[in-house]
Amino acid sequence: MIELSLIGIGTGNPDHVTREAVKAINLADLILLPLKGEDKADLAGLRRAICEAVLTNPATRIVPFDLPVRDPATPDYVARVSDWHDAIAARWEGHIRAHLAAGGGPKVALLVWGDPSLYDSTLRIAERVGRSLPMVVQVIPGITAIQMLCAAHAIPLNDLAAPVVITTGRRLRDHGWPQDADTVVVMLDAGGAFTELDPEGIEIWWGAYVGMAEQILDHGPLASAGPRIVETRAQARAAHGWIMDIYLMRRQPAVPQPS
């Protein structure tokens, strides 16, 4: 029986890896390390740096593997991502089977950005692997980018007694501001989905590489901060070859006009 640990590592800062995560890393027989291409080599490097900082078990093997890419020829987004997850699951399974065939132990781990439960597909991929390999899955929660964004700007996530909507850049671009929402957190934005909104009455708190040495922050009314953020984001992506950013927006409720 495979014991698969999905370990949340926060936003890449080794200081934000929990004691529970450190324990799970050191109990692993095998750590799978995905490589996302040369442009994102820093991401694999950060995972390696975390392992070097906390791993004391000499028996733990770290095995890098090339992450499959999505097929742009598949027009439907959901089908394209589902096929991609199938390909990743097959890659995991192949490495796990090779590890077991070589006499390796059953404890397998993956280091997951942020938390495995929030806008991350690692759990869905693990479910696919579990259809052909008997396994139990353990999730070690991590600090999320949402927590880091709010901490960096020293703001509460929600207004008093008010709900929060967490969505993606794709949905914001396609569907606009979520109905009945005053606070919206946007993740997985390929870039500037907020530019599709009417900025009137909206304030934005933005961050890239939150919690890391490269952290960049901006905040202000969307009308003035939005163009600034778009330019800063493009410059940061060009400098690093990749970017992880997130933002929170609040909209002031409309003031009823006298009849």
Task: Provide Rg for the chain, Cα atoms.
Answer: 20
Q: What is residue 193's DSSP assignment?
A: G
d(CA 129, CA 65): 16
* 15 phi, psi to nearest 5 deg: -70, -15
Q: Are 179 and 165 a contacting pair, CB within 8 Å?
A: no
Q: Which residue has the tokens 């009455």?
A: 201
What are residue 52's phi and psi, to 5 degrees? -65, -30
Superfamily of domain 146-251: Tetrapyrrole methylase, C-terminal domain (3.30.950.10)
- What pLDDT score was predicted for residue 258? 56
b or e along 218-252 (b: 16 or more beta carbons within 10 Å of the residue's beta carbon)? bbeebeebbeebeebbeebeeeeeebbbbbbbbbe
- Return the domain boundaries, the chain: 2-143, 146-251
> What is the assigned CATH class of domain 2-143?
alpha beta
Ordered per-residue pLDDT tens for the chain, 259 residues: 999 999 999 987 888 999 999 999 999 999 999 987 554 456 667 888 899 999 999 999 999 998 898 888 898 888 999 999 999 999 999 999 999 999 999 999 999 999 999 999 999 999 999 999 999 999 999 999 999 999 999 999 999 889 999 999 999 999 999 998 999 999 999 999 999 999 999 999 999 999 988 999 999 999 999 999 999 999 999 998 889 999 999 998 655 555 5
Encode 44-72 in three state secondary structure.
Answer: HHHHHHHHHHHCCCCCCEEEEEECCCCCC
Question: Which pLDDT score, from 0 to 100, does residue 12 have?
Answer: 79
